[in-house]
Amino acid sequence: MTEQDSIRINRFLSAAGVCSRREADRLIEEGRIFVNGRAAKTGMQIFPDDEVVFDKKVLSKKEERTLLLFNKPCGIVCTEEKREKNNIIDFINYPTRIFTIGRLDKDSHGLILLTDDGSIVNDIMKGSRKHEKEYHVRVDKPLTEGFIKRMKEGVYLPELSVKTRKCKVKRTGEMSFDITLTQGLNRQIRRMCEALGYKVLDLMRFRIMNLFVDNIREGSYRRITPEEERELFKELYNADQDSK
């Protein structure tokens, strides 16, 4: 067998639905992963005929990933932490282990993706890839042309010591607008508005790349369609090619 037949162990564990690729290294260091009867090593390659065991359970790579589109209500927290009573995992109560791709803060609502395949998380969320995310925003006072212009050009956030990237902004009402971001700073839109003297009253994410929250009732989810998945990975692949 050749290297082309193999897969890195952290990717294998992620594809098997055990954990994210980042968490895989911790499990290996804790001595909980064995390959062909021997303790696994970080970065090792897994071949098709290898036996991988996690906590005495033999693993196999899943042939089909789970990728859910969830319309998150306000008040639900994007965490797996069980001590948080409003955590997203308990709210959805999906029959197998899943985790969020990125976050949407507690006071915001709209589209969030969840999966059991940690190998795609970085591909979707990595800021350098500049994947689009689009939001409806309502603020506490009438918009000015100056506000729209400054939002488009990027706003300096002193608490993060960074200026946001240029973005698309479209007024949709006297006190509302749509904004398209290609980065994911913590509470970015709220911070941008606050820096310009505005307070966000409502924030809804309705699009991530080619995926829309349309027709998903708040608090409900659906699986990605085959057509959406093909388009999503086409965009991811093209992003990889463009970055080379």
The maximal CA–CA distance of the chain, rounded, in angstroms, is 66
Active-site residue flag, 105: yes
* Closest to 68 (Cα-Cα) out of 87, 96, 105: 96
What is the C-alpha to C-alpha distance for residues 137 and 200, in angstroms, rounded to an integer?
7
How many CB atoms within 10 Å of residue 48?
9
What is the C-alpha to C-alpha distance for residues 50 and 196, in angstroms, rounded to an integer?
57
Phi and psi (nearest 5°) for 202? -150, 135
Spacing of C-alpha 122 from chain mean position? 8
* Closest to 77 (Cα-Cα) out of 68, 69, 87, 85: 87
DSSP-assigned states of every residue in 52-88: EEETTEEE---SS--EEEEEEPTT-B----TTSTTBH
Residue 52 · residue 46 · CB < 8 Å: yes
What is the C-alpha to C-alpha distance for residues 189 and 177, in angstroms, rounded to an integer?
11
Q: How many C-alpha atoms does 8 have within 13 Å on its Cβ side?
A: 12
Q: Which of 25, 50, 55, 105 is catalytic?
A: 105
Would you name the residues annotated as active-site residues? 105
